[in-house]
C-alpha cells in the first residue's frame, strides 16, 4: 500500500482518503452511510474513500 493522502473539499463537504491518484478505470461502489469507495479494477482493493457530508459527522 502506498502513502495515504487526505484532502478536504469544503464546498462539497467531502473528505477524500487516497492510496493513489484517481484514474478512469477505477470501479466505484457506494458503501453505507454515504461513503464512496473507488476500487482497483483488477484486485478489487479500495484505493480511495470519499466521505460525504464530513463536517456533519465531525459535529456529532
Confidence at residue 2, expressed as pLDDT on a 0 to 100 scale:
61
pTM: 0.86
List 52's β-bridge partners, or say none. Answer: 14
The residue assigned the cell 476500487 is 39
| Cα–Cα separations (whole angstroms), residue 55 to 39, 50, 52 | 24, 13, 9
pLDDT score of 1 more than 70: no
**Residue range 2-60, pLDDT digits in tens:** 699 999 999 999 999 999 999 999 999 999 999 999 999 999 999 999 999 999 988 76
Label each residue of 37-49 as H, E or C.
EEECCCCCCEEEE
Confidence at residue 28, expressed as pLDDT on a 0 to 100 scale:
97
Amino acid at each position: 500500500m502506498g502513502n495515504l493522502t487526505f484532502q478536504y473539499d469544503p464546498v462539497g463537504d467531502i473528505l477524500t482518503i487516497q492510496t493513489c491518484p484517481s484514474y478512469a478505470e477505477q470501479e466505484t461502489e457506494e458503501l453505507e452511510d454515504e461513503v464512496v469507495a473507488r476500487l482497483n479494477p483488477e484486485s478489487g482493493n479500495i484505493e480511495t474513500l470519499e466521505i460525504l457530508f464530513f463536517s456533519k459527522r465531525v459535529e456529532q
